[in-house]
Amino acid sequence: MPVTLSKAPIWGFAVFVLFGAFAADSEEAAKSISGLSAGSPPAEIPAAIKEGHSLFNLTCAHCHGPDASTGQPERNLRHLRVRYGSDMHDVFETTVKNGRPDKGMPVWGEVLDTKTIDSIYSYLETVQEDAE
């Protein structure tokens, strides 16, 4: 599902343009999703995860790094499960919808629909790591 930019701030459009190159096609998404071998056929990966991977890299990678990995621990989304445990989904959804403006996280609730947010979450579930 395409992401609507009708209510996105102008920098949101710039993010789509500048970071669109990071969006992987289905085959590359299949290869990069944690826990799956590089030879996994794309058909084995649920569509929501492939879509979520692409959407993440289009909308979130500028702050959270391509594929949800960045050198800044507070922005590395591969440790959400370690940080929040069973509250991971609720914290993710609340943060995406309401933002954390005091920490630089924009409000996406008026820009991204529920299906898009759920797809991004589905992808993030696949890349969770233990804390180092």
Provide the pLDDT for residue 12.
46
Domain boundaries in the chain? 10-126
> Does the domain made of 10-126 have the CATH classification 1.10.760.10?
yes
pLDDT tens profile 89-108:
999 999 999 999 999 999 99
**DSSP states of 49-100 as a string?**
HHHHHHHHHHHTHHHH-GGG--S-GGG-GGGHHHHHGGGHHHHHHHHHHH-B
Residue 7 reports pLDDT greater than 50: no
pTM of the model: 0.66
